[in-house]
Amino acid sequence: MLGLAILITLSSVKALSSTCPAYKCNKTNLPNQSSCSYLNTTSNITYVNPCKGDYICISTSSTSSQCQYKSSYIANSQVSGAKCLYNQDCTNSNTCIQNTCHGLSINTPCKSHLDCDVGLFCTPSNMTCVPQLKKGQLGCYEDANCVNNAGCQVFSQSNPENNICTEYFSVDDYEVLAGCNATGDVNYLCKSGFCVDIGTSLCYPAPISAKKTPISCLNNTVCISKLTGKAEQVFTTSCNCGLNSESIMFCNIFPGDDVYNEYDSMVRDWITSGNIMKCNTYGRFGSSCMKSYWSDSKYKEFTRKMYRALYYPKFVNAEDCVLEMAFYEYYELLDKGFGDFIALGGMIAFLIV
């Protein structure tokens, strides 16, 4: 999966020099036996040695990481609807009944959405669990107020009267969609998964990179899209350090690029599978729900594609041992349950890293 066949002409690579660290798999340069990565600030080389067994690489300072035993159990990580064995597996005041976490029922006082059972949310008007708003219903402040396969189109932060629950991936190109910005955002209410404010805030075709990816860069000036949509917009993305051994920077990809589409189609898959409806409103895209209702292979495929799309520059030309080191940490963060709730409807706001 990580065998990215990347062809970059050496001449174009050598011409660029950045101040990014280089990542090298070489254990002889590590300070001690339990170190898994170490940055030599003089040479700007980060030496990497993956951890053995069930140990994962945890950063202990800005320059070094240590192998630590992977904590196999995280209490209170399962949202309502997700699988459990005992109460302590479930979040907040949820209880484990017949191997499923259950939250508070309708009209019960609550403090957070996580307190409420599947299909409910904690309404700010009187802090009780009430049914989620259906598609097309007005009155939401955020995605969590809407049924799990819809997000909130926010026209006004203060007055929810005009805010409407809208099905994910339902709004056509060039249809008005509240809340986008002039630089363009990923937005899963749009069919294209992308929106922009071009005078009017609307759904828009997802841009693709102007050149074949990966594109090496020193700054954002080369990180541009093809002319996109009716307004022939050129979008810009950022130039980032990677995990490669040559300190080369690469442009992030655009939401219309192939690698991004692979991730995007997993998100669509999760929604159309119907499994998204089985968990707490806050756990709709969380790992506890996905692990409970998706096969292990699907969940892992989702995770890998997500990281490749969101952290594309890190993957390009990176040695396997470096990715292994980086990915164990990612997997660990992901295992922390509802922490990775995605505030869809806005941009990709994964609460990771």
Ligand X SMILES: *[C@@H]1O[C@H](CO)[C@@H](O)[C@H](O)[C@H]1NC(C)=O
By CB under 6 A, tell whether 43 contacts ligand X: yes
**60 vs 76 by CB, closer to ligand X:** 60
Instruction: Examine residue 60 and tell whether it contacts ligand X (CB under 6 A).
Output: yes
Closest CB to ligand X among 105 and 183? 183
- From residue 347, alpha-carbon distances to 132, 330, 343 in Å are 22, 20, 7
Q: Which is nearer to ligand X, 62 or 297 (CB)?
A: 62
CB of 196 or CB of 290, closer to ligand X: 196
Nearest approach in angstroms of CB 80 to ligand X is 19
CB contact at 8 A, 169 and 193? yes
Residue from 8, 13, 29, 301 binding ligand X (CB under 6 A): 29
User: Do the bridges between strand 216-217 and strand 249-251 make them parallel or antiparallel, or are there none, so unpaired?
Assistant: antiparallel
Among 157, 181, 265, 272, binds ligand X (CB under 6 A): 181
Q: How many residues bind ligand X (CB under 6 A)?
A: 29
Residue found by looking up tokens 């700007």 in the block? 44
CA–CA dist 50, 67 (Å, integer): 8
Cα(188)–Cα(265) distance, integer angstroms: 11
Residue 123 lies near ligand X (rule: CB under 6 A): yes
Query: Which of 44, 157, 162, 265 is close enough to bind ligand X by CB under 6 A?
Result: 44
Under rule CB under 6 A, residue 110 binds ligand X = no
Closer residue to ligand X in complex, CB, 183/295: 183
Under 8 Å CB-to-CB from 204, ≥6 apart: which residues? Answer: 173, 174, 184, 190, 192, 194, 195, 196, 198, 228, 229, 233
Give bridge partners of residue 202 from the DSSP assignment: 176, 196
Point out which residues pair with 268 in neighbouring strands.
none
Residue 51 has what DSSP assignment? P
Span from 97-105, 165-173, 218-226, 275-283 in contact with ligand X (CB under 6 A): 218-226
Nearest-approach distance from CB 288 to ligand X, in angstroms = 26
Q: Are strands 239-241 and 55-59 parallel, antiparallel or unpaired?
A: unpaired
Min dist CB 290 to ligand X, Å, is 24
Rounded distance between C-alpha atoms, residue 188 and residue 191, angstroms: 7
Please pick, from the candidates 185, 246, 335, 340, the single residue that binds ligand X as defined by CB under 6 A.
185
Residues that bind ligand X (CB under 6 A): 19, 26, 28-29, 31-32, 34-35, 40, 42-44, 60, 64, 107, 123, 125-126, 128, 130, 181-183, 185, 218-219, 221-222, 347
